[in-house]
Every structure is written in C-alpha cells, then in structure tokens.
Structure 1
Amino acid sequence: MKKLAALLVLLLGALGLTACSTPADPSQGLTVVATTTQVTEFTSTVVGTAGTVTGLIQPNQSAHSFDPSAKQLLLLSQADAVVINGADLEPWLQDALSAANFSGEVITASTGIPLIESDPHVWTSPKNAQQMVDNIKTGLDGLPGITEEQKQTFETNADAYDTQLYALNTWITTNIDQVPAAQRLLVTNHDAFTYFVDAFGINFLGSIIPSFDDNAEPSAAELDSLIALIKNSGATAIFSEASISPKLAKTIASEAGVKVYSGDNALYSDSLGVSGSEGETYIKATIHNVTMLMNAWGYPVQPLPAELTS
C-alpha cells in the first residue's frame, strides 16, 4: 500500500492535482466510488443520471484480497463519497482511504442490518439488499451540495429498484416453498450464503473452504469430514462459485458421488459476473442461483413476475 501511495503522489503531480483537495461540489457533478460489484450496482442504480459511479472491484474478483491500483487511489482522492459494503468485508479500505487522502463521505450500505458474526455477505438476502439500497439513498441525500433535483432522482430510482427486489424475494420464496425442508440441502465452495439460507429455510451442510474468506485453505481432515457429511445427508450436488476455482469442488464431488455445478452453472457469491453473463446484475445473478438450486433439487422453476422481465 505504501508503494501505491507513492505512485499516487507521482500521478497526482503529473496531473497537477493534490490528493488532499476538497471534493468537488456535488451539484457540479457528483462523483462516487463504490467497492464491491453488488454495492456498485446498487449505487449506480440509485444515482442514475444524477452523478457518476465507479466501482473498484471488478466482476469475478474477490473482495477479500483486493488491492487497489494507483489509478483507483486517484479516483478515491477525487471522490465526493465512497460507498462500502461494511461488515468487515473490505479490510484493505482504511489503508486505501489514507493512501488517497480521501476527504469525502463514507456511506456504509450494511448499516442497520443484523449481522451474522464474521459473515459480510449481507446482500445474498434480497431483503437485506433492499435495506442497502435505502441506506445508499439516505447517504447520498446527506452529501454536501446535493440538490433537490438530485434527491428526487435518488428517490425515484431507489423506489423502482425496491419494487424489483421485493418481487425477487417473493419469486424466490414461491420457488423454494415447493421443496420439502429436508431436501433443501446446500454445499458450496465457501461460507458466503448464510443470510440467504437463513432467509429461505435452507439447510447449509457445509463448505469446502470452512471460512467466510475465500482465500482460506481447508485441511485434509475438514475435507474428509465434508465428504462423509455429503454422503450421509442425501445431498445431490456441490456448488462451486464463479469467482473461485472449481478444481477442489470437482474433486470433492467425485469422492462423494454427487454432481458439481461449476463453470456457467456456478453460483454467484462474492462478485457479480461479467457483462453478458447470467450474473451481470444482482437480480440476474440471484435468479441464476435459485434456478441452479431448483434444478439440483429436482423441482420446476416458477415463471418470473412482470417486474423482473421488463
């Protein structure tokens, strides 16, 4: 991070800028930086045409081990606000803000959401996503220099997105309610779906990486225990995740005698997918995930409501 800070100083000097300059007046062009792909989408949706939003973390990139570039530190130095997930997902953030001499406002999207210890993946529950969007709107409303016209844009956009997220939550419930509770079994790469499984009554058997950090490594004993658990549970599949290598998931699935969902069928967790993929937006990624679960459990996927098809 010190090296990046030094590069930032050189870059700022070349551009004739100062990292400690006061952020621009939002009324003259609101500039927002967001951290994760999910938070970036939520923020971009709320801001709409009332400003510019730039995401730091790119599709299929892990938030846990992210290290901002000098160019991204420059973006932070000039931003009016940075929107973060919070819940300790971005351990690198404070160093990045310090290196960039960031002097704007920090908006924490997870504020007020009851947190599960050590699990930062709050967005996996659409109801939490609704709260995050509302927190972002409220934070943007409070920025210095924001006009009434901008606030109205935020309100209109947030309300429209909230309607879609509500419809998404209802659609998920309709699908999963078809499945007997004893058959709602889930095994994934790492512990990224706690809020989701709690919201919809899914039995999370375990993960290949028994940690909320996708960089952790499981022991041989942990893998053996998971294989035995899968064999004894009646689970039919292991789900890899789009931002994590499926190699170990495939090995475990082979040992346990179950199917592995990977590649285009992998779940989206820490990150959304690239443009054009089934996970390119939060709503599409969630629909994809539920569709894969329903396929694995052997139940039909219910039609999408009009709010999610327009």
Structure 2
Amino acid sequence: MGCVIEALGLVKAFGGRRVVDGVSFSAGVGFTALMGPNGAGKTTTLSMVVGALRPDRGSVRVCGFYMWGRDGLRARRLLGYAPQDMPFKDKLSGYENLVWIGLIKGLGLFEAGREARRLLEEVGLYEHRGKRVALYSGGMRRKLAVAAALLGNPEALVLDEPTSGLDPVARADLWDLLAKVGRGRAVLFTTHMAEEAQRRADFVVIMHEGRVAAAGRPGELVAKYAPNPRVLVYAEGAKGIEVEGARPREAGPGVYEYEVADASLWIPKLAEAYLRVGAKVWRIEAREPGLEEVFFALTGRRL
C-alpha cells in the first residue's frame, strides 16, 4: 500500500478562535490536494501534519508512526516538507543551501554533498548549482525547495501552495517535475486553485472555515455535488432573466450564470430571451462543471 499520511481529528485555536476544527483525512500514495481559499486553515493543518505546530487535539500518523508520540523523530524523517516560502540563505549557492539543509536533517557532510549534487541533477538545476539563490527565478527557487524536501529520500512529501505566484509556463514545468519525483510517494499539497486540484490530484479534501466540507476523487465530487453544466450569458442592458424556471445567478458585473441539464438546448433559449428585451448580448458560453462549482455548491462562495 505504501506510506499514508493520516490526520485524525486535528484542532487548533489561536486567541480563542478555532482555525482548524476537527480535520481528518488520509493521503496515500499519489497526489492529495487540500483545496480551499486563503483562510480556510490549510497551512495551519499542514504545519500540524509536518510536526511544526502541536495540535490542541487530534493526532498525525506518517507511515504508521505518530508525529507526537515516541516515534515522532522517525515520522519526521519519513516526510519531506516544502513550505510556501522556503527559508533559503540568499547569499549561498543552490548547492550550499542543500548541503546546509541536509546537515540540519542529520546527514553527514559527505552524504549531504552527494545528495545535493544528485538532487540538483534530478530537478534540473545542476548547471546553476554554483549560482547564489538570490539570483534564482521564482520557478528555480520552487525546484530547489522540492530538492530540499527530497533530502533523505522521504516516503512522503508535503508541499504548501507549490505553484503559487508562478507564471503558467513555470507552473507546468514544476508539475512535470512533481509528477516525476512524486511517483510511488504520498504527496500532500495545498492549493486555492480548483483547476489545479482537478487536474493534478488523485484525491481532494475541500476545506472551508477550518473544516472538511467534502473529500473524494475529483470526478466523484463533481458527480455528487455539481453534475450539471453552466451557461454564462454576458449581457448589457438587462438584469438576469428567469427563463422557464432556470434562475440566473450573478457571476460578475453583467454576467449571469444558469445551471441547466443540457447546455446545447439552453443556449438558444437564453439568447432569444435576452434579445427579446433589447439586451446587448456580448457572449454566451457553456462550462462543464468542475471543483469550482463543487465548492460553490457546498459553501455558497467562490474560491
């Protein structure tokens, strides 16, 4: 079965306010996404999972070992963690940073150097090994963070918003790397992007206001909570029009969304209804449902 990361009833409060309230999930081999908006409790949950923050209640197991039990050190060694902003030393080179982190992780100097060279090759940064990290691009820093998380050859990886702030090309490049290094490992990552969770995750845990709103495979969640396509009408000169019981939802200024069973039947009906009242229709589009619609169905809010 491979390694499994298990969160069991995690609770954490700050200033009397619970920011994580009874969160439980399992992340086995493959990619598991903690998906939700900023403030949903994702990073706090991850901090407890990796042992950086002690939960008020609940527990964490990594490959069967309790993070806060007698085997806590073993649990930590089985897990590699890349926070959203890895604390690299900008004046040191990529190679020197990896050696430094390897020493912190308990590797000997020779082993840390050997691992640093191997991982720089694996993540595609070997030719930049002597360059100061201050000169690295955002995408290069993220690759170096992945290399740092892989030091010690962990069974599981935990990544906090691994692609946040990257342009589309750098994001795709990083995901190609993660698909390669994540093979055979349990990989838990956070994201506030529904499209990223839907494309990249085998299993999704949707978080909202510190709790798990739903969990499952992306296709199963869509089929259960948001099975119907949406038609969006971009129009000027008319409020959202109700047509034969299809009620509009304002999706933005001058944008009206309809949940329908068959988009191909409803597009001409909606176009005719808006034109009949003299509205200027700029565009009508159909969208297949996805995790964005699932989140809205569960919470009444947009990501």
Would you say same fold, with TM above 0.5?
A: no
Bigger proportion of residues as helix:
1
Which protein has greater RCO, CA pairs closer than 8 Å, 6+ apart? 2
Give the greater-gyration-radius structure (CA): 2
TM-score (norm 1): 0.27
